[in-house]
Amino acid sequence: METIKINTQTIELGQFLKWAGIVGTGGEAKQLLAAEEVFVNGELEKRRGRKLSPGDTVTIGGQRYKLEARN
């Protein structure tokens, strides 16, 4: 599991995908969500605008990412 530190209390899924370096643009995030199974806390998610918070996990293709607050 890879830990990704965020600077805010929440981040949208599409922004997280860019922040983590998984995609380069919002358009790529939209395509990824349409083509791949992306899970947030174990639940399938298709919305780029889904709010994520520290402690949430995102799983894409077997790779897990855990969000943490940057102190």
The stretch 38-43 carries a mean pLDDT of: 97
Q: If you search the block for the tokens 């918070």, which residue do you land on?
A: 53
44 contact partners, CB below 8 Å, separation of at least 6: 37, 38
Q: What is the pLDDT of residues 55-69, one digit of tens each?
A: 999 999 999 999 999
Q: What is the pLDDT of residues 4-36, one digit of tens each?
A: 999 899 999 999 999 999 999 999 999 999 999
Query: Whole-model pTM?
Result: 0.90
**Residue type at position 11:** I
> Mapping DSSP to helix (H, G, I), strand (E, B) and coil, where does residue 27 land?
helix
User: How buried is residue 30: exposed, middle or buried, by Cβ count under 10 Å (0-12/13-18/19+)?
Assistant: middle
Report the alpha-carbon distance of residue 69 to residue 32 in Å, rounded: 25
Predicted confidence (pLDDT) at residue 43 exceeds the cutoff of 80? yes
